Structure 1
Amino acid sequence: MPSLLNYAILTDPTPLQASQPGAPSIGTVYVIVSNTHQSEVRWDFIDVEIPVGSGPNDLTGNPTAISASIEKDYTVNREPEPTFDWDSTLGRFRAHDPSGGRLTLPAEESLVLSLENIPVSDLAGLVRLKVYERSGGGDGNLPVRRANFITTLGLVKQAPRIPRNFRPEKNSLVDVDASQNVVLTWEGPDNLDYWIRDPQGNEVLAQSAVQGPRVTQRPYTWSPPSAPRRGTTFTLIAGTTTAAQQHHGYFLTTTVHALVPEFDSGTRTPWVEQAPGKSRATFSVAGMEIHNGAGALGTVTADRVDVNGVKTAWVQGPSDSDGWIEFPPSGLNVFHGQGKAWGTVWADRADLNSVTTHWTEGPDGKKSRITFTETGVKITDPEKKRGTVVAGETNVRSVVTPWVSGPQAGAGWISFPNEGVDVHRDGEVSFGRIRYASYKESQTVNDRPVHRRLPPYDWPPRSEN
């Protein structure tokens, strides 16, 4: 004999999706209880029994995680509200009067028994639910019988038939410099072909469909031939392939990035900023401006700079104590340290149009110096005494000097006292001699100078001894 009450079943989602590794499925089952009689039905309980386990015909492996509730759209005077909950002794969900009485379902009314938050088991299949009813009344006004009316309801628990969760396996940031490559992964039914499309529109067959009537959900992975060197979006395409053409049914996308992006054709941007210090390089019409984190002009540090020209107020070595060069309108200033103390220029050779200086000194160990005074040039030796000029040939208009000596040691020398000229010898103040190869004697004849050459002679005359 059929049940006095009528039962229908709905699921959310429809059909229920079987759980997958790493992707549990949660669903809801609604059992709609209707009184199709024109008379009321009196009932003691309505039990819903679900198959528990991990097989294809089981709904869940954890019935205690299910939230049960009852909802009715009618009111019966002086009757308590029914409850619907898990009965661990019976292994069923039972709707009943919590005080143990009998309840009424009026004619042509209904109530809904809800099973929510169901952890759906992971194998696809047909699930049968049994409903146990103890009732009486109805159009035949039947007495409440001891035996239960039993109704069987069915629902489908389906494995996902479309791909899902297309993503990088670990993370979406790839360190190309560390030889990393991206691994893309997804889950999907094995009766589909899968292609990967790159940003240029090229498609690569990543996995072919498995032939057979049974569809299995499984994970897949794929890596590009080389790691992406900048932000790259890949598209997963799922479908079938016939002899004539490909049928694309599903499209999923995921994007990966390079830790240090590289662009083949350049980058257009008004500025680049460092994080978190906020130092910034700004590209202006004139070129580039470097600013520090406070917005002021910043510092460029490099081992080598190759440029066509540099415009700057000054240049200094890497340390604050290093020398630095300033560029005033008049030319070039060389300083050292943090102050404006004059610095030193070291060079193997200097080619200049002119030099303006107080003095010029030889290198270490040869500290002879030439000083430029108001009256001329002063030459001193390393001990600041008068120094010596040595030259192979001197061509001057005049020489002002207290004495002149030959280049070799012990050479004769000439001094210039107020009275005339003294000739000395052997480095001593003793008179030497003047030796002439020839000399000229001048006379005046008829108011005109006449010169004649005389034979050589020594002065003073040689001693006969």
Structure 2
Amino acid sequence: MTLTMLTYTLITDPAPLAASEAGRPPSTGTVYLLITNTGQAAAYWSTIKVEVPVGNGAGDLTSDFNRIKPKGEYSTRSGTRSSVNVQPGPQGSNAFQATAPGGRTPFAPGDYMVLTLENVTVAPTAGLAVLKVTENASRTKIGRLSNSFAAVALVKTAPKEIPAPHSFLADNAVVDAGTKVTLSWEGSDDFTYEILFPGGRKPVPKVKHTGSHGPYSLALDAADAPKRDTTYTLIASFGTQRHTFTTTVQVRNPILETLTAINGVTTPWVQGSTKGDGAFTFSKGAMHVRRESGSQEAGALYAGEATVSGIATEYVKGLKDGDGDITFLPGGVKVWHTRGSDLLGTLYASGADLWCVNTEWVQGKSSDSGRIFFPEEGLHVNRGNGAKGIVSAAEYRRYP
């Protein structure tokens, strides 16, 4: 076995190289083959061939040999640098070959050469890739050239896990019902994003950022605006990776389909769902019906019936225009013909139990019934036509 006259070392950028992964941009890197002469005498080299393992397996460096860009540079111990001719070949091989100027040139002790393979698309399987080196050189300027062989290896690690997204927030944490909401977060472009919320879900369009990572946002339209406290869920997926995040938006004036209160409801006011609807307000020991929220003007209360321990009101009237009206005065009530009228109305009852009655006259129910008038000197009994009437009694007594 012939040992090589030169020493070969592999360096990668990044180190180590990460294997490519389906669904993500290809993993790329640069491979440097550092060649040095650690011996005591010069080595006269003619060619140095580097075979690259090509394929998708663990032992392969790349699946796309033609994308690699080779170049070479020679540096002397004194610091002088010069380019080296590096070309693919021989034809039909997955190799690159560096050729010495003039067909053969000395490689002095302490000098070094760097063969650079740029734009290497790393194969998709992690493992150890071995590059085979064939050195064609001799110990003397005119000696017979011979081939010596070396193997240099590099590691391909498993693809790096994509960093999880973060900072999932709404533009406003507290809003009014129906207010549009914009959700935002930071994350990698490799993920597929989706927003879930009660009653809906929204896929997030793909975005390409510099460095494959940046800010994302999704503006929900009016139809998806929160009507009550709502929790939004961000799902980020890639391959076997799945991340879930939540953020909650609180609504000041929630719209509820139903409400069941186990231990009661405590609130300063309640109003209808439409602007201008009536409202209930609560004060110490009382409840008020208002024309609308924020108004001090009394509103109307409609009910089929009501059972109360007492009613304090200025008047009571019928539901229809022209119905009678009862007005409450200090010490009594008045029955009016209708609300707003100065004409007295009629009180109908099947009976009355009274301490006294103050009236100008009393008459039977029909129009020709007798009447009793109360003048200053006593009382008069008249017929319905105005003539004197008859008083009938089982017993009559006259007092002086």
TM-score range, shorter chain: 0.5 to 0.7
Show CA shifts across 1:331-364 (max 9, x none). Answer: 4443314643232223333444443333221222
Pick one of 147, 150, 153 that aligns with 1:150: 147
Q: Which residue of 2 aligns with 1:344?
A: 300
Q: How does 1:210-225 map to 2 (within 5 A)?
A: none
* Residue 359 (structure 1) aligned with residue 315 (structure 2): yes
Please tell me whether the aligned partners of residues 324 and 336 of structure 1 are also in contact (alpha carbons under 8 angstroms).
Answer: yes
**Judging changes above 3 Å, is the alpha-carbon distance between structure 1 residues 300 and 433 closer, same or farther for their aligned structure 2 residues?**
same
Alpha-carbon shift at residue 74 of structure 1 (Å) = 0.8
Q: 1:316 to 1:49 in 2, by over 3 A?
A: closer
Question: Deviation per CA, 1:403-457, whole angstroms, max 9, x where unpaired?
Answer: 111234432221223343222333x3233222223323568xxxxxxxxxxxxxx
Q: Is the 8 A contact 1:176 1:259 kept in 2?
A: no
1:251-330 alignment, distance < 5 Å: 256-257=243-244, 274=249, 298-302=252-256, 303-304=258-259, 306=261, 307-312=263-268, 314-329=269-284
Residues 1:407 and 2:362 are matched in the alignment: no
Q: For 1:62-101, what aligned pairs fall within 5 Å after superposition?
A: 62-63=65-66, 65-70=68-73, 72=75, 74-75=77-78, 81-88=81-88, 92-94=96-98, 96-97=100-101
Separation in structure 2 between the aligned mates of residue 326 and residue 59 of structure 1, nearest angstrom: 78
Q: 2:51: which partner in 1?
A: 50
Change (3 A) 1:357 1:86: same
- Alpha-carbon separation, structure 2, partners of 1:394 and 1:14: 109
In the aligned structure 1, how far is the partner of 2:270 from the partner of 2:192? 46
Question: Which protein is bigger by CA-based radius of gyration?
Answer: 1
Residue 329 of structure 1: how far off its partner (Å): 4.7
Change (3 A) 1:391 1:54: closer
Q: Is the 8 Å Cα contact of residues 7 and 38 (structure 2) preserved in structure 1?
A: no
- 1:425-444 residue pairs with structure 2 within 5 A? 425-426=383-384, 428-441=385-398
In 2, distance between residues paired with 1:37 and 1:177? 78
TM-score, with normalisation over the residues of structure 1?
0.54
Q: CA deviation at 1:399?
A: 0.9
Partner residue, 1:119: 121
Contact 2:53 2:131 in 1 (8 A): no
Is the Cα contact below 8 Å between 2:16 and 2:156 reproduced in 1? no
Secondary structure class of the residue paired with 1:386: coil
Cα distance, 1:132 vs. partner?
4.5
| Partner residue, 2:343 | 385
- Amino acid aligned to 1:360: V
Tell me the CA shift for residue 395 of structure 1.
1.8
Tell whether the 8 Å contact from 2:10 to 2:153 is kept in structure 1 after alignment. no
- Looking at structure 1, the residues matched to 199 and 298 of structure 2 have their Cα atoms a distance apart, in angstroms, of 50
Task: Confirm or deny: 8 A CA contact 1:130 1:150 kept in the other structure.
Answer: no
Shift of 1:143: 3.8
Partner of 1:109 in structure 2?
A: 110
Structure 1: stretches of 5+ with no match in the other structure = 181-228, 233-252, 261-272, 281-297, 444-465
1:401 Cα offset (Å): 0.7
CA gap 1:49/1:441 in 2 versus in 1, 3 angstroms: closer
Residue number in structure 2 paired with 1:368: 324
Separation of aligned partners in 1, 2:290 and 2:321: 24
| 2:362–2:371 Cα contact (<8 Å) kept | yes
Aligned residue identity for 1:378: K
Partners of 2:151 and 2:310 in 1: CA distance? 109
Distance 1:75 1:164, change over 3 A: closer
CA contact (8 A) 2:67 2:121 kept: no
| Cα pair 1:370 1:380 within 8 Å, conserved | yes
Superposed counterparts of 1:182-193, under 5 Å: none
Q: Distance in 2 between matches of 1:30 and 1:404?
A: 131
5+ residue gaps, structure 2, are 165-189, 202-231
Shift of 1:165: 5.2
Matched, 1:396 2:354: yes
Task: State the 1:304 CA deviation.
Answer: 3.5
